[in-house]
Structure 1
Amino acid sequence: MGVILLIIVGAAAGFIATRVMGVEANIVITIAVGIAGVFIGGFLLRFIVNMLGATAGFVAGVLGAILLVWLYQKYRGRS
């Protein structure tokens, strides 16, 4: 995945994750959470990503970002 594609997918995944979790975050945090979520989701769901392709990568990114938002809320409190 190229850096530009990673930023685009991460931004989209972070946006969806913050909206699903009801968190208001600035654009930098949203993109950072999304990119980290793409890495975490890709790592955790590597087998599915290899089987289903880019769509699974996006879903894994959203799930990873949701996990990070949940952890953030649990340990830092609601924004």
Structure 2
Amino acid sequence: MGVIALIVIGAAAGFLATRLMRIEADIPTTMFIGVAGALIGGLILRVLGTLMGAMAGFVGAVLGAMLLIWLWQRYRR
């Protein structure tokens, strides 16, 4: 996946994840969460990619971003 595609998908996944987790974050933080979540989710859900195709990458990106948000909220305090 190209770097531009990773940023675009990561930004969309970060936006969706921040809305699902009901947190307010600025645009760079949202993009970072999405890109990092895409990397985490991509590693965790690589097997699903072969089974479900491209949609699994987006699902993995959202789940990875949600995991990152949860860890961030839990250990930030």
For Structure 1 versus Structure 2, the TM-score category normalised by the shorter chain is: over 0.9
Runs of 4+ with >2 A deviation: none
Stretches of structure 1 lacking an aligned partner (at least 5 in a row): none
- What's 2:2 paired with? 2
- What's 1:46 paired with? 46
Q: In the aligned structure 1, how far is the partner of 2:11 from the partner of 2:50?
A: 22
Alignment of 1:7-26 (within 5 A): 7-26=7-26
Q: Deviations over 1:13-44 (max 9, x none)?
A: 00000011111000000000000001100101
TM-superposed CA distance for 1:6, in Å, is: 0.4
Q: In the aligned structure 2, how far is the partner of 1:49 from the partner of 1:71?
A: 25
TM-superposed CA distance for 1:54, in Å, is: 1.1
Identity of aligned residues (%): 58
- What's 2:75 paired with? 75
Q: In the aligned structure 2, how far is the partner of 1:6 from the partner of 1:45?
A: 16
Normalised TM-score (structure 2): 0.96
TM-superposed CA distance for 1:51, in Å, is: 1.8
Count of equivalent residues: 77
TM-superposed CA distance for 1:11, in Å, is: 0.2
Query: What RMSD, in angstroms, separates the aligned Cα atoms of the two structures?
Result: 0.8
